[in-house]
Structure 1
């Protein structure tokens, strides 16, 4: 009862101070703090929150999840969809939860946000964990097109081959190009492991029984990708130099990726591993774009090893 009351108070304070920003904390505030930054733009933290946050907290971490402004449960009709606004919200989260430093764990696009924030605010960063994060958006989009094309050629799928040929003629920096690329990625199963573990399969099956996951996990806020594209040209972002800059600040950067993640070629994975460093990099078998679900135990054990 006491723990529930403390959590309720934290949620209430966070709601008041950040107005429309959805936040939720798990665990002991005296433990090592991790802020989870979800993917997108346009998605939310529900998947991580409902599957992994509490278990991670039980393993000695103070875990904070939130939905970016204008995305998921953080509804705000006046959202600007800029990195400046996003960083201001992160600063508010630090203040609300009385954090001096924290580990930022960024999933997919959230890893880009984490890297950009860490470069601007290195004094607030304990470490950065990139989870399935593209360091070059254009490389990832090209990988999706190439891999999809190979699948369609192998299956003699002339209809989708024609779609790919049309896609190859579109401006690669456009929101239309990225949207169609991600659509092909979803259609071809690039986000899911080829041979999921029994536990992961059960967790995905449980999604259908969880009302929050049913409502939010696959829900997309379409204003977000358009807004971040207009304001930040996120489809052309390349954060490799920013990663190097953060490393010069003696901030540890870690990377966790899935063997079956179709958003990355073997060459991309090698580039990421070489940049981050072999000891700071893990690639899990039987995992795709959500390694915190696909290989949850290995994921948490890795964080316990890295974050101390």
Structure 2
């Protein structure tokens, strides 16, 4: 299997499909690159080089004790880009991966990242504070940590319902999709899963967003129960110089079903444009 090795010795697994301009996908917590398989195939089928990696601690990458922080995640992505010699990169990130894509583009991608796409992404910052009074209280994230540290298998099964909006009337999300979420979640190391709760809730991307000067497409579901749109996309679009926001009415956090079909068409159009 293909891996790159980071400066601290972590081995980062990646998929590399097709050829052409590189489009790199960053997955959400607590998943892996497998979550992007449909989009990877879509991009490769349309003449792009589609790449997705397993974040350290997740999937098939090394379960490091240290380095479960956003700066290291972005540096790992920069190592992947450097070692593969990628130029004119387009980065796409979902949820926590959206934060990773934004930080990478702002701090490592000057002159090389040409477009950024996020979906249900965590920026600018999720946790409630004096400077972010509309955020979620720390008790919300403490409960997630407790679920991860306790019966994480059942926690991930329960979380899948909110993740995909399967708890909403009329949801068409299948048992198979919820099972896949659980399967990928169970592959993340406990330390990485636990540490990453603070990463996705407490990291402030405000300055990263302000630093972006390339075109950015921000996608978000109006019924996202994991990363509420009012705390995320509606604020992010105000901070980026050249950003377009599309709100997917009634869509959940997880990219699946009708939301996935519409988003994939928009993604392809934005990347081609």
TM-score bucket of the superposed structures, by smaller chain = 0.7 to 0.9
Alpha-carbon distance in structure 1 between the residues aligned to 2:114 and 2:158: 34
TM-superposed CA distance for 1:178, in Å, is: 4.9
Q: 1:258 aligns with which of 205, 215, 221?
A: 221
Task: Provide TM-score, normalisation by structure 2.
Answer: 0.75
> Given that residues 22 and 66 in structure 1 are in contact (C-alpha distance below 8 angstroms), is that contact kept between their aligned partners in structure 2?
yes
**Other-structure match for 2:252:** 288
**Other-structure match for 1:307:** 271
> Given that residues 157 and 182 in structure 2 are in contact (C-alpha distance below 8 angstroms), is that contact kept between their aligned partners in structure 1?
no
Q: How does 1:65-76 map to 2 (within 5 A)?
A: 65-76=52-63
Structure number with greater Rg is 1
Alpha-carbon distance in structure 2 between the residues aligned to 1:139 and 1:21: 32
Alpha-carbon distance in structure 2 between the residues aligned to 1:117 and 1:24: 19
> Given that residues 26 and 53 in structure 1 are in contact (C-alpha distance below 8 angstroms), is that contact kept between their aligned partners in structure 2?
yes
Going from structure 1 to structure 2, the CA distance change for 1:185 and 1:63 (only over 3 Å counts) comes to: same
What is the alpha-carbon root mean square deviation over aligned residues?
A: 3.8
Task: Provide TM-score, normalisation by structure 1.
Answer: 0.67
> Secondary structure at the residue paired with 1:89?
helix
**Structure 2 residue 145 is the aligned partner of structure 1 residue 179:** yes
> Secondary structure at the residue paired with 1:280?
strand
**Which structure's residues are more often helix, by fraction?**
1
TM-superposed CA distance for 1:307, in Å, is: 1.7
> Given that residues 143 and 265 in structure 1 are in contact (C-alpha distance below 8 angstroms), is that contact kept between their aligned partners in structure 2?
no
> Given that residues 156 and 182 in structure 2 are in contact (C-alpha distance below 8 angstroms), is that contact kept between their aligned partners in structure 1?
no
> Given that residues 157 and 178 in structure 2 are in contact (C-alpha distance below 8 angstroms), is that contact kept between their aligned partners in structure 1?
no
Count of residue pairs the alignment pairs up: 255
Q: Which consecutive unaligned segments of at least 5 residues does structure 1 have?
A: 1-10, 146-167
Q: 1:241 aligns with which of 197, 201, 207?
A: 207
Alpha-carbon distance in structure 1 between the residues aligned to 2:65 and 2:146: 27
**Other-structure match for 2:14:** 23
> Given that residues 216 and 243 in structure 2 are in contact (C-alpha distance below 8 angstroms), is that contact kept between their aligned partners in structure 1?
no
Q: Which consecutive unaligned segments of at least 5 residues does structure 2 have?
A: 149-154
